[in-house]
Amino acid sequence: MKLTLKIWRQSEQKDPGRFETHCIDGVSEDSSFLEMLDQLNEQLLEEGVEPVAFDHDCREGICGMCSLTINGFAHGPENSTTTCQLHMRKFKDGDTITIEPFRARAFPVLRDLVVDRSAFDKIIQAGGFISVRTGSAPDGNALPIPKDESDQAMDAAACIGCGACVASCKNASAMLFTAAKAGHLNLLPQGKAEQEKRVLDMVSAMDGAGFGNCRNYGECSASCPKDISLDFISKLNRDHAKAKLKKLFS
């Protein structure tokens, strides 16, 4: 395959940035999108050009680091897929592909396609910890949990924190991420003790980090590589309202 790549280049956070166009030939349709970028960087090094910086780690769809906007879509045109699991067979020979970093005020661009997502870390840290002792691994079955609740908690825990929900939202909201991270603890008995404080603190940290408000567009769930449901946002809103009322009248 021969492709034309329009790639965002930005040397540092204060640099205004610009698009560069590069042509690449001999791309296998069986290679992943990141392998294609590896091939491009090898070509750039041979040409004496600075390679493109992009995030990656596991390359197995687990870590969530491969956060790229491809032709206007977070993680690209394939549904329920991270960038590292996107294969070049989704594109055609001669295609022009536009590659950008995730765009959000809370995700400042550090260099080229790399963004700072430490705002997510602040939300998680605000959630604190659970005070209930869970014991060792064999003790996990000692506390009976209804299957519906355990299934929901596992669905929420599937969130890998990639940020696609923020990048695809018109308001750059982090509600789906926050709802998933709060939900997987609040649904389980061990997380009930801190549930109200956890919800209030995590939402406050989310607002303080500069994320936008949720308007129920649904783009966040549609672009999520792990198909996190909008139902978790509804649960977060209910839990947050209850916690605020209880704090107000306590």
The pLDDT score that the predictor gives to residue 87 is 97
Do residues 164 and 75 lie in contact, with contact meaning Cβ atoms separated by under 8 Å? yes
The pLDDT score that the predictor gives to residue 30 is 96
Phi, psi at residue 37, to the nearest 5°? -65, -35
Do residues 168 and 225 lie in contact, with contact meaning Cβ atoms separated by under 8 Å? no
Do residues 120 and 174 lie in contact, with contact meaning Cβ atoms separated by under 8 Å? yes
92 three-class SS: coil
Q: Could you give the CA distance from residue 118 to residue 90 in angstroms, rounded to a whole number?
A: 31
Query: Matching CATH topology for 3-114 and 117-249?
Result: no
The pLDDT score that the predictor gives to residue 129 is 83
Counts of helices then strands in the chain (DSSP H, E): 8, 7
CATH number of the domain located at residue range(s) 3-114 in this protein: 3.10.20.30
Q: Look at residues 207, 204, 230 and name the one whose alpha carbon lies nearest to residue 219.
A: 230
* Residue 246 neighbours by CB distance under 10 Å: 11
CATH number of the domain located at residue range(s) 117-249 in this protein: 1.10.1060.10
- Antiparallel, parallel or unpaired: β 109-111 and 114-115: antiparallel
Q: Look at residues 45, 55, 51, 67 and name the one whose alpha carbon lies nearest to residue 11.
A: 51
The pLDDT score that the predictor gives to residue 144 is 82
Q: Residues with Cβ < 8 Å from 190, sequence gap 6 or more?
A: 130, 132, 134, 143
Q: Look at residues 94, 110, 119 and name the one whose alpha carbon lies nearest to residue 53.
A: 110
* Residue 187 neighbours by CB distance under 10 Å: 24
* Residue 19 neighbours by CB distance under 10 Å: 12
Structural domain boundaries of the chain? 3-114, 117-249
Q: Could you give the CA distance from residue 88 to residue 90 in angstroms, rounded to a whole number?
A: 5
The pLDDT score that the predictor gives to residue 139 is 67
Extract the residue ranges of the chain whose pLDDT is less than 70. 134, 137-140
Token duo for residue 127: 């959630």
